[in-house]
Structure 1
Amino acid sequence: MKNIKLFSIIGMLMLTQQVFSQKNVKSVTMNKTEEHYTFQLSDKVSRQKVSFKNRYGIILSGDLYLPKNAGSKKMSALAISGPFGAVKEQSSGLYANEMAQRGFAVIAFDPSYTGESSGETRSLASPEINTEDFSAAVDFLGIQKNIDRNKIGIIGICGFGGFALNAAAVDKRVKAVAVSTMYDMTRVMSKGYNDAVTLDQRTKILEQLGEQRWKDAESGSFAPGPVLNAEKLKGDEPQFVKEYHDYYKTERGFHERSLNSTGAWNATTPISFMNMPIMTYIKEISPRPILIIAGEKAHSRYFSEDAFKAAAQPKELVIVPGAVHTDLYDKLDKIPFDTLENFFKTNLK
């Protein structure tokens, strides 16, 4: 890393290698409504707003997708969240819409402290609480009269792929777990991309995060970190930064409640990620099955391959030819929905 500053670790959190100061970034002015989704709802699917509490008393906001031809038989169900910094009206909702067409009851939800979910302060992430969010979604699904609580799986996208694996390891009610274009957020924030952060750099980052805590305590508020994606790129950014921008800052994936589209995490958000390795117990998912999907050309591919190596059987790794990280957010010709359908229909029984 070229420059170890307080926000350099936030830069990894934002999934970029550059820090864009807020005063140099103009606000996005796309004209969107409160019911803005980045995809079309299938005419074979119904969608309704729901809410449920996690163990911390935070009220999570979700969209429940149901196949219109479900009949009276109890359904298998899925809970989906991600990417990290996104909302349910983006990628997780798209996945839910597709899987509901294939016969599943599916909830896509906003994580704690973000989107339409509650939690104070805002714009905060936590590996423990975001893992709990998945289990709270399982709670909700399991008490619905039209859902078979013994047939519940979860899907995590991007940074919520790591949380999904962690949730499956600790919550034995989860019968199968799939992750798509996953990140291990605790690893990337504590060690940097490709584990490049040295012990000395890590120590300095932690010291600076501690200093930021003093500043927040003195001001009585939590300072924001850098804006996640600049409104305009200079052109010399790494390719994967351009790919994030193409999704979050354009009509393709922009959403006004998404931190990745318009906002910033709290500056001290990385603290809880720095010494909590969420992949520690991945072997304990077994004998329940794991499906890991990654893009061939994704900068994040190594997270998926390392998770696959660490996991016990039964497990499956699918590498999507030619796909970059963000292709698996919304590219219907790239996301292997047939594979996801077969995986869950085979294992939720």
Structure 2
Amino acid sequence: MGEKLKKQFDPAATLQEVESKFEMFQILNEEGKIVNEDAVPDLSDEELVELMTRMVFTRILDQRSISLNRQGRLGFYAPTAGQEASQLASHFALEKDDWILPGYRDVPQIVFHGLPLWKAFLFSRGHFVGNQIPEGVNVLPPQIIIGAQYVQAAGVALGIKKRGTADVAITYTGDGGSSQGDFYEGINFAGAFKAPAIFIVQNNQFAISTPRDVQTSAKTIAQKGIAAGIPSVLVDGMDPLAVYVATRDARERAVKGEGPSLIETMCYRYGPHTMSGDDPTRYRTTDIDNEWAAKDPIVRFRIYLEGKGLWDEQKETEVIERAKEEIKAAIKKADETPKQKVTDLISNMYEEKPYNLQEQYEIFEAKESK
């Protein structure tokens, strides 16, 4: 191919140019030092402390949930340790009336958005009460089908636009979820209708056991949003300040009518994909674990807040003890909830039961009354 034509037609160079634009946005580095002074958000001391409190609470919740799962007192559970900044800092940029459409690992966000913790525990157990969201709490139950929440978020965001309210819909998936068809359909639909949606991809490096570079040849997941014509950014997902700023910016543009955004947060899950038999030692090395442990979001934020005189060991201990007590009370309330019955499932499915389910209902009702 001649040089003149190559300048006019070089798809490979175009791809490289697009990929080169996605440099990771960071404000607080691994050592807890500000490296991007101009981007530091205007958060009050009280807000900084509150964000740290939520992150520490979530780490304790994760530890306790793993223990409860091993005891057989919880059902399905996806560990969250390592992703606290990605989850809680993005949520911190939201308003109460915004809608959250979570994936199965995103329970912390919906708890801090108003879902009672005891109901979150019941969700894990598969109990229908866990999916009964209190009035005024704008969340959907965690989506187990990978990527499906992206299509739902696009629809909710379009509904918000049609209502004319200054709210957004935010949703989360992992790097593996970005290879699902629903992911592309969701961001494309939202982009076409300029719906106020924020799509977050928590790139924790492994889709269960599949490394990110195996499940897609894209250099970044953020660049996939460009194909849908929506602003996209790559963020240090272990940096709470950077995640907050990126989400706040996306929300501000969305409520102005500028449409959706895609945020890729580079993070890591310290534990297994879920507690349902996954063994991360089979596909992750100790060196990789140690590399990401050195980037811990709580450690770096702790150093930053200590330097500002806002945090100390005593304050963290108080948060930890309070978290343990709240978790203990929540699991007790979940335990006291009447066990789910087969007749409950049938009644919840249909307002008017078809004849075959009516027959089954009567059979199980008789068994349950004994």
TM-score (norm 1): 0.30
The structure whose RCO (Cα within 8 Å, separation 6+) is larger is: 2
Greater per-residue helix proportion:
2
More strand by share: 1
